[in-house]
Chains A and B, each alone.
Chain A
Amino acid sequence: MKLELRGISKAFGSFYANKNIDLMVDDAQIHCLLGENGAGKSTLMNVLYGLYQPTEGEILLDGKPVEFSGPGDAMAAGIGMVHQHFMLVPVFTVAENIALGAETTKAGGVLDLQDTRKKIREISDRYSFDVDPDAIVEDLPVGVQQRVEIIKALVREAKILILDEPTAVLTPQETDELLEIMRQLKANGTSIVFISHKLREVRAVSDVITVIRRGEVIDSVSPESSTTELANLMVGRAVELNLNKAPATPGDAVLQVKDLTVVDPAGTTTLNSVTFDIHEGEILAVAGVQGNGQTELTEAILGTQPVTAGSVKLAGEELVGKSVKQVLRSGLGFVPEDRSVHGLVTEFSIEENLVLDLYDRAPFGKGISMNLDAIKKNATAQIKDFDVRTDNPLNPASSLSGGNQQKVVMARELSRDLKLFIASQPTRGVDVGSIEFLHRRIVAERDKGTPVMIVSTELDEVMELADRIAVLYKGRINGIVPGNTSREVLGLMMAGVSAEEAAEQAEFTKSDNEPVEAAPAGERSENQEGEGQ
């Protein structure tokens, strides 16, 4: 089926998330929408899927204008969508999730899941998905849940499939499998709109790439375009990938993490005997695909995550078993991965958020009373220092853009003398200008001699900041390598390949002149098995 968007605009209040977008998706084509976080890709797809009503413009299917009042209409017209955050009911079985909204029933509205199970098996066999219709969704790995979403669309006979950032939660290997599935779907005549900001995947699988920036279409290019070219289109100016930071001058190992292990209440070991040091004046970046123990690692150090075994010593002082407050007081600056959930009380004023973990310390608090003047002064100074764009420090933090919110969190955590600075995803959902600013402040803190730990799932960020890189894979440290390690090696390590083998293999593929993402899945899993023995 052919899809055309003509002059689509979508406004929230007076803010335009999409402006005058034209898009043409051909029959059996993989069309990629490339753009930064917040560029308006998801909004556009929600318009296409009937979740949002466009402010202006029209949607045409096979040349005929259509109007969707809800997702039901879009589905009926043959559009299916796999959302970034899966739209699956966690406590339902696969079959129930797939039947939902398109149920087969016996007399009297009694559910007939047999029919659904049959359809699931058919599709599962055709694409070798290996999905059990009676498994409870929340028990399934993320990759399988994604396949359930794809089955859901296929059962509804989708001719156009929208995949919204499908690889964000996948390991490189799962990503390869997904790309293969996409090719297969295309071969069967399904058109795919593939939303991503990851250049390598986009180039590997797309037929056409449309770049979106700040809600507008910038250009449509072919997948042969170079990575730098695409990156420039995406962010709007030549990206200076080099921060030009001075080489690190590491001092003593101030943070010593030894055999840190976390077992969650369900009995899964999420962090497995993690051991590493961070020295004064160096940045250790923790790389890895999301969900490989990063959250547990940072939270275990902070103390919000119960530790099963192991020790965390900061300047010789044991942190495990201490309260969060004690840990913060012993000199930890902590930027959590999700600022709106863990980093800010968004209803609080900027002023209050700037003392969120300092409110009871001098000069802001004394006994149980607080010094409002000191809080105000602090806010004025920090807002200026970190260039937080706001007209009033009394505005709620929710009024700030993502980048400015992150600046508030960072300003607060860097505003005291630190013995250790930890930042998770320091620039997620932050505009390019702020990214650079935040990166410079992180490096500046390192140059003051503070040990810094950066956790990031973005390889670019890791490579830019790190003096050393630790790769987390399935809750274990899969090796600690120098900051200048190549992207290929890191990518393999993130997939579970050991550092040495990754280096060998990267050398091999390089000499073969083949891009890594095209490496056959079989070869990679072989390597992994080898590693496991």
Chain B
Amino acid sequence: MTASTLQPAINVLPSKKTPIILSAIAVIVFFCFGLLGNSDSAHFQLNSAGDAFKLPELVFPGKASNIVIGLLLIGLAVYSWLQRKKSKLVATWMIAIAAVLFVLSFLIWVVSGADITTISLASLLAGAVVLAVPLVFGSLSGVLCERAGVVNIAIEGQLLGGAFTAALVSSLTKNAFAGLIAAGIAGALVSLILALFSIKYVVNQIIVGVVLNVLVSGITGFLFTTVMQEDPELYNKPVHLPVIDIPGLSAIPVIGPILFKQSVIGYLMYLAVFIVWFGLFKTKWGLRVRAVGEHPKAADTLGIKVNRTRFWNVTLGGIVAGIGGSFFTLVAIDSFTKEISGGRGFIALAAVIFGRWNPIGAFLAALLFGFADNLQVILTIIGTPVPSQFMAMMPYLVTIFAVAGLVGRSRGPAAAGEPYVKE
């Protein structure tokens, strides 16, 4: 009787996952970053060149600040265990606060222990947004597809196809906008294959996605060697999109460069996030799309064309991701190289899940991953003891923890991955 009644009783309480993770974070911060941390101070500059006014530099004494943050986190962890005892779920805001505190503590720890103990927070954030641009577009593509019930593993291929086509067309036409449009078309083409095979021929969506990535990588690699490298001046010298600086506003410290000094694609990103969010949750189109992704049969009985909706959504997703891909060759890098997207399509996929299939959530997740990416670069420059490879792993590790710990319970669209076949 004893064992049998005690053991299953655990099932009544909410999962232990979140409290455990919060506790682990608290312990790491308190001991590793705090007690064992460096007692030097970390300096964060908030200004960048051309700012309208000066902000003071933020200075954190390494050890002391992290001990304080560690105590705060321990408090949060204890609270989460108590909540769990009361059979309550840990609130999202607590997880968010813990995440922010952890990132801050980590920053203080690495910077205070580095060779150069000063970094520019402004450029760290601005760079993060830049690196996040293709991730945001890629994740929007994922959201558009999955909300309609099609899993899109081919984001990587769409980004890569977009990057290649943008470089080629922009070089040939000497017009960056032609490249931008061509990138959208290229992404749509990848999507068309995804749609054709997964919707019409009911091939498993994950298989099609995986294979499409290999296909696009093969085709772009092949054409890169046979076409672009034959005459790089002609075929691989894309005209870049201009960076549009909104006078005055861009001089606001920290947020100025992020919001008001972007390339066309950068501005498009903010617009796209809003449009997709608004479209999905506030319009007739969005209602139908979500119904198709949740319960296609119900949608069908109400006269909604399930497969047609899916087809157009996947195509739209392709256009969005293609445009995101053009960022590589029309903004970030001078010319196309093989595998220029470097696995960012998969980080975008992670952002979709981390962002809980919500355009704004995905946007924030992409920003976080862009931040990690940029942090790695900056930390290498200031010479931290942390090997850069471990920093580079961060987005992936964070995603693993997220999928396993924090997002494990959250639900994606119920019918995602399942083909809809009428009898």
Q: How far is the CA of A394 from the CA of B3 in the complex (A)?
A: 44
Determine if A321 and B302 form an interchain contact, defined as CB atoms under 8 angstroms apart.
no
Q: Using an 8 Å CB-CB cutoff, how does the interface string of A100-118 with B read, 1 for contact, 0 for none?
A: 1111010011110000000
A176, chain B: closest CB distance, angstroms: 27
Q: Which of B172-180, B256-264, B283-291, B340-348 contacts A (4 or more CB under 8 A)?
A: B283-291
Q: Which of B44-52, B102-110, B207-215, B292-300 contacts A (4 or more CB under 8 A)?
A: B292-300
B92 at the interface (CB under 8 A from A): no
Q: How far is the CA of A410 from the CA of B303 in the complex (A)?
A: 42
**Closest chain B residue, CB of each to CB of A267:** B87
Determine if B12 and A111 form an interchain contact, defined as CB atoms under 8 angstroms apart.
no
Q: How far is the CA of A75 from the CA of B288 in the complex (A)?
A: 17
Determine if A306 and B287 form an interchain contact, defined as CB atoms under 8 angstroms apart.
no
Contact with B287, one of A49, A87, A111, A310 (Cβ below 8 angstroms): A111
Contact with B301, one of A87, A103, A311 (Cβ below 8 angstroms): A87
Question: Which A55-106 residues sit within 8 Å CB-CB of chain B?
Answer: 70-73, 75, 81, 83, 86-92, 96-97, 99-103, 105
A315 at the interface (CB under 8 A from B): no
B7 at the interface (CB under 8 A from A): yes
Q: How far is the CA of A306 from the CA of B5 in the complex (A)?
A: 11
Determine if B304 and A100 form an interchain contact, defined as CB atoms under 8 angstroms apart.
yes
B11: chain A residues at CB < 8 Å are 263, 265, 306, 308
A84, chain B: closest CB distance, angstroms: 12
Q: Check A51/B12 contact, CB under 8 A, given A92-B294, A103-B284, A111-B284.
A: no
**Closest chain B residue, CB of each to CB of A108:** B283
A381 at the interface (CB under 8 A from B): no
B344, chain A: closest CB distance, angstroms: 30
Determine if B295 and A88 form an interchain contact, defined as CB atoms under 8 angstroms apart.
yes
Determine if B87 and A71 form an interchain contact, defined as CB atoms under 8 angstroms apart.
no
A372: chain B residues at CB < 8 Å are none
A102: chain B residues at CB < 8 Å are 302
A358 at the interface (CB under 8 A from B): no
A86: chain B residues at CB < 8 Å are 298
B294: chain A residues at CB < 8 Å are 89-92
B295: chain A residues at CB < 8 Å are 87-90
Q: How far is the CA of A320 from the CA of B9 in the complex (A)?
A: 12
A100: chain B residues at CB < 8 Å are 287-288, 291, 298-299, 302, 304
Q: How far is the CA of A99 from the CA of B284 in the complex (A)?
A: 9
Determine if B301 and A110 form an interchain contact, defined as CB atoms under 8 angstroms apart.
no
Question: Which A410-467 residues sit within 8 Å CB-CB of chain B?
Answer: none
Determine if A110 and B282 form an interchain contact, defined as CB atoms under 8 angstroms apart.
yes
B413, chain A: closest CB distance, angstroms: 9
Q: How far is the CA of A306 from the CA of B10 in the complex (A)?
A: 9
B282: chain A residues at CB < 8 Å are 110-111
A351, chain B: closest CB distance, angstroms: 28
Q: How far is the CA of A51 from the CA of B298 in the complex (A)?
A: 11
B8, chain A: closest CB distance, angstroms: 5
Question: Which B4-18 residues sit within 8 Å CB-CB of chain A?
Answer: 4-5, 7-9, 11-12
Q: How far is the CA of A111 from the CA of B285 in the complex (A)?
A: 9
Contact with B302, one of A101, A108, A308 (Cβ below 8 angstroms): A101
Determine if A90 and B303 form an interchain contact, defined as CB atoms under 8 angstroms apart.
no
**Closest chain A residue, CB of each to CB of B295:** A89
A519 at the interface (CB under 8 A from B): no
B284: chain A residues at CB < 8 Å are 103, 105, 109-111
Q: How many interface residues does A have (CB within 8 Å)? A: 42
B5: chain A residues at CB < 8 Å are 309-311, 320
B283: chain A residues at CB < 8 Å are 105, 108-111
A318 at the interface (CB under 8 A from B): yes
A469 at the interface (CB under 8 A from B): no
Q: Using an 8 Å CB-CB cutoff, how does the interface string of A19-61 with B read, 1 for contact, 0 for none?
A: 0000000000000000000000000000001011000000000
Q: How far is the CA of A12 from the CA of B422 in the complex (A)?
A: 13
Determine if B302 and A75 form an interchain contact, defined as CB atoms under 8 angstroms apart.
yes
A359, chain B: closest CB distance, angstroms: 28
A154 at the interface (CB under 8 A from B): no
Determine if B4 and A311 form an interchain contact, defined as CB atoms under 8 angstroms apart.
yes
A387, chain B: closest CB distance, angstroms: 30
B414 at the interface (CB under 8 A from A): yes
**Closest chain A residue, CB of each to CB of B3:** A321
B380, chain A: closest CB distance, angstroms: 44
Determine if A52 and B423 form an interchain contact, defined as CB atoms under 8 angstroms apart.
yes
A158 at the interface (CB under 8 A from B): no
Q: How far is the CA of A265 from the CA of B13 in the complex (A)?
A: 8
A12: chain B residues at CB < 8 Å are 423
Question: Which B298-330 residues sit within 8 Å CB-CB of chain A?
Answer: 298-304
Determine if B1 and A318 form an interchain contact, defined as CB atoms under 8 angstroms apart.
yes
A307 at the interface (CB under 8 A from B): yes
A110: chain B residues at CB < 8 Å are 282-284
Q: Using an 8 Å CB-CB cutoff, how does the interface string of B143-172 with A read, 1 for contact, 0 for none?
A: 000000000000000000000000000000
Q: How far is the CA of A105 from the CA of B290 in the complex (A)?
A: 17
**Closest chain A residue, CB of each to CB of B10:** A306
B288: chain A residues at CB < 8 Å are 100-101, 103
B12: chain A residues at CB < 8 Å are 263, 267, 308
A356, chain B: closest CB distance, angstroms: 25
Contact with B4, one of A71, A105, A318 (Cβ below 8 angstroms): A318
Determine if A320 and B302 form an interchain contact, defined as CB atoms under 8 angstroms apart.
no
**Closest chain A residue, CB of each to CB of B294:** A89
Q: How far is the CA of A70 from the CA of B8 in the complex (A)?
A: 49
A96: chain B residues at CB < 8 Å are 287
B302, chain A: closest CB distance, angstroms: 3
Determine if A72 and B9 form an interchain contact, defined as CB atoms under 8 angstroms apart.
no
A529, chain B: closest CB distance, angstroms: 29
Q: How far is the CA of A49 from the CA of B87 in the complex (A)?
A: 46
A267: chain B residues at CB < 8 Å are 12, 87
Determine if B4 and A320 form an interchain contact, defined as CB atoms under 8 angstroms apart.
yes
Q: Check A309/B9 contact, CB under 8 A, given A70-B303, A71-B300.
A: yes
Determine if A321 and B7 form an interchain contact, defined as CB atoms under 8 angstroms apart.
yes
A437, chain B: closest CB distance, angstroms: 30
B422: chain A residues at CB < 8 Å are 51
Q: How far is the CA of A89 from the CA of B290 in the complex (A)?
A: 9
Q: How far is the CA of A71 from the CA of B87 in the complex (A)?
A: 45
Q: Check A88/B298 contact, CB under 8 A, given A75-B303, A321-B3.
A: yes
A309: chain B residues at CB < 8 Å are 5, 8-9
B3: chain A residues at CB < 8 Å are 321
B299: chain A residues at CB < 8 Å are 89, 100-101
Q: Check A306/B303 contact, CB under 8 A, given A100-B287, A110-B282.
A: no
Contact with B303, one of A89, A101, A108 (Cβ below 8 angstroms): A101
Determine if B1 and A87 form an interchain contact, defined as CB atoms under 8 angstroms apart.
no
Determine if A92 and B291 form an interchain contact, defined as CB atoms under 8 angstroms apart.
yes
A49: chain B residues at CB < 8 Å are 301
Q: Check A308/B9 contact, CB under 8 A, given A90-B295, A320-B4.
A: yes
Q: Check A101/B8 contact, CB under 8 A, given A91-B294, A110-B283, A111-B284.
A: no
A324, chain B: closest CB distance, angstroms: 14
B291: chain A residues at CB < 8 Å are 89, 92, 100
Q: Using an 8 Å CB-CB cutoff, how does the interface string of B107-148 with A read, 1 for contact, 0 for none?
A: 000000000000000000000000000000000000000000
Question: Which A272-320 residues sit within 8 Å CB-CB of chain B?
Answer: 306-311, 318, 320
Q: How far is the CA of A109 from the CA of B4 in the complex (A)?
A: 57
Binding site for A on B (CB under 8 A): 1, 3-5, 7-9, 11-12, 87, 282-288, 290-291, 294-295, 297-304, 411, 414, 422-423
18 A-B residue pairs with CB within 8 Å: A51-B301, A51-B423, A72-B302, A81-B301, A83-B301, A87-B295, A89-B294, A101-B288, A101-B299, A101-B304, A267-B87, A306-B8, A307-B4, A308-B11, A309-B8, A309-B9, A311-B4, A311-B5
Q: A89-B295, A100-B302, A318-B1 are in contact. List 11 more A-B contacts (CB 8 A).
A: A71-B300, A75-B302, A89-B291, A91-B414, A99-B287, A100-B299, A101-B288, A105-B283, A263-B12, A267-B12, A306-B11
Binding site for B on A (CB under 8 A): 12, 49, 51-52, 70-73, 75, 81, 83, 86-92, 96-97, 99-103, 105, 108-111, 263, 265, 267, 306-311, 318, 320-321
| 3 residue pairs, one from A and one from B, having the closest CB atoms | A72-B303, A101-B302, A87-B298
